[in-house]
Amino acid sequence: MSIAEIKETKSNLIAWIEQLSDSNMLTVLDSLRNSEQDGDWWDNLPEWQKQHINEGIEDEENGRVISSEEFWKNLKNG
């Protein structure tokens, strides 16, 4: 990402945040901001969560995935 793209992204995010009224979204964003100060979020995850994430990555690497369209279609019909 170029410096100009970074500046534009920051500007767009600031404008979006200023218009937010959803307190849940603001809480999520604040948590994200605070988590950056606490070091790498990965280090704070329990082992079972790390294992699930790694399994998901392995599934993707081995082609064991479906599109979001297929997922929602299956969910709707299931």
Asked whether residue 19 carries a pLDDT value surpassing 70, the answer given is: yes
**Structural domain tally of the chain?**
2
Q: Are residues 28 and 50 in the same domain?
A: no
pLDDT in tens, 33-75: 877 666 777 887 889 999 999 999 999 999 999 999 999 999 8
Q: Are residues 52 and 78 in the same domain?
A: yes
Q: State which residues form the domain around 19.
A: 1-39
Q: Are residues 3 and 34 in the same domain?
A: yes
Q: Are residues 1 and 23 in the same domain?
A: yes
**Spatial contact of 42 and 50, defined as CB atoms under 8 Å apart:** yes
Q: Are residues 1 and 29 in the same domain?
A: yes
Per-position DSSP letters for 9-69, written without gaps between them: HHHHHHHHHHH---HHHHHHHHHHHHHHHTS-GGGGS-HHHHHHHHHHHHHHHTT----HH
* Strand, helix or coil for residue 66: coil
Q: Are residues 24 and 49 in the same domain?
A: no
Q: Are residues 58 and 26 in the same domain?
A: no
Q: What is the pTM of this model?
A: 0.45
The whole-angstrom separation of Cα 53 and Cα 6 is 28
- Residue 37: what pLDDT? 65
Q: Are residues 9 and 32 in the same domain?
A: yes
